[in-house]
Chains A and B, each alone.
Chain A
Amino acid sequence: MWEYPTWEVPGLGSGMVIGLIATVHVLVAHFSVGAGVILAIGETTARRNKDLSLLAFLKIFSKWLLLIGFVFGAVSGVAIWFSISLAATRATSMLIHTFVWFWAIEWVFFLVEIVAGYAYYSSWGRVPARHHLVLAWIYASAAWMSLFVISGILSFMLSPGKWLETGNVWDGFLNPTFLPTVFLRTLSSLGLASLSAMVIVNLYSKFSRDERTRIINFAAQFLWPLVLMLPVAYWYFEGIPSFAKTLIQGGAAAMTLFFLFGIAASTLVGVYAYFGLIRAKRYINLETALLLLSIAVIATVSMEFVREGIRKPYIIYDRLYANNLAVDEVERANSEGVLASAPWKRIGLPEHPDPHLLGEKMYEIQCSGCHVMNGFNDVGLLIDGWPKEMLAYNLDRLHQLKPFMPPLVGTEEERRALVIYLMNLQDNEGANPDRKEVARDGIDSQS
Chain B
Amino acid sequence: MELIPNPDSLGLPGPVWFLLLLHETTQTIHFVFMNFVLGGSWFLLWLHFGRKVDWKEQLYQRCLSVMPIALSMTITFGIAPLLFVQTLYGQFFYTANVIMGGFWLGLLAILVVAFYLVYVLKAKRGSDDRYSSPSIRFVLHLVIALGFTIIAFLHTANGVLTVSPHLWESAYSDSLWGTLFGKSDLLVPRFLHNLVGALGIAGIWIVWIGNYRGSLNPSEQARSGVLLSAGATMLQMVLGFWYLSALPSEMVKTIMRVDSSLGWHFAGSIAVAIPFVVCVIALTAVPCHRGLRWLTSTIGSLLVFGMVTFSGKVREALLVEHFDLSQWTVNTQSGPILVFLTLFSLGLVCIGWIAWILWNGFAESSEVTEESLY
Contact = CB atoms under 8 A, between A and B. Distances in A.
A100 interface: yes
Contacts of A70: 72
B138 interface: no
Contacts of A103: 83
* Residue of B104, B108, B335 ringed by the most chain A CB atoms within 10 A: B108
Given A92-B94, A100-B14, A126 B112 contact: no
A102 B336 contact: yes
Interface in A85-116: 85-86, 89, 92-94, 96-98, 100-105, 107-112, 114-116
Contacts of B351: 111-112, 115
B333 A169 contact: yes
A4 B104 contact: no
What DSSP secondary structure best describes chain B's contact surface? helix
Contact of A104 (B83, B105, B172, B364): B83
A67 B347 contact: no
Contact of B115 (A75, A110, A170): A75
A74 B82 CA distance: 14
A110 B79 contact: yes
A227 to B, nearest CB: 34
A82 B5 CA distance: 19
A138 B3 contact: no
Contact of A78 (B79, B350, B369): B79
Contact of A94 (B10, B354, B360): B10
B8 A97 contact: yes
Contact of B97 (A82, A94, A100, A107): A82
A78 B104 CA distance: 11
A6 B99 CA distance: 8
Contact of B347 (A17, A112, A127): A112
* Residue of A59, A72, A114, A170 ringed by the most chain B CB atoms within 10 A: A114
A316 to B, nearest CB: 11
A169 B13 contact: yes
Contacts, number: 193
A143 to B, nearest CB: 13
A111 B365 contact: no
Interface stretch (B192-200, B260-268, B287-295, B337-345): B337-345
Interface in B43-93: 68-69, 72-73, 75-80, 82-84, 86-87, 90-91
A96 B86 CA distance: 7
Given A101-B339, A110-B79, A125-B368, A4 B94 contact: yes
Contacts of B340: 101, 104-105, 108
A85 B5 contact: no
B372 interface: yes
Interface in A335-360: 343-344, 347-348
Contacts of B354: 115-116, 119, 135, 138
B65 to A, nearest CB: 9
Nearest to B173: A347
A363 B343 CA distance: 47
B345 to A, nearest CB: 9
A252 interface: no
B126 to A, nearest CB: 16
Interface of A: 3-9, 17, 47, 52, 55, 59, 67, 70-72, 74-79, 81-83, 85-86, 89, 92-94, 96-98, 100-105, 107-112, 114-116, 118-119, 122-129, 131, 135, 138, 169-170, 343-344, 347-348
Going nearest first, the 4 A-B pairs with the smallest beta carbon separation are A101-B336, A3-B5, A127-B361, A125-B373
23 contacts: A7-B98, A47-B374, A74-B75, A75-B115, A78-B108, A81-B79, A85-B98, A89-B94, A92-B86, A94-B10, A96-B83, A97-B90, A101-B13, A101-B337, A103-B83, A105-B340, A116-B354, A119-B354, A123-B361, A125-B374, A126-B362, A126-B365, A135-B357
Interface of B: 2-3, 5-6, 8, 10-14, 19, 22, 68-69, 72-73, 75-80, 82-84, 86-87, 90-91, 94-95, 97-99, 101-102, 104-105, 108, 111-112, 115-116, 119, 168-169, 172-173, 333, 335-337, 339-340, 343-344, 347, 350-351, 354, 357-358, 360-362, 364-365, 368-369, 372-374
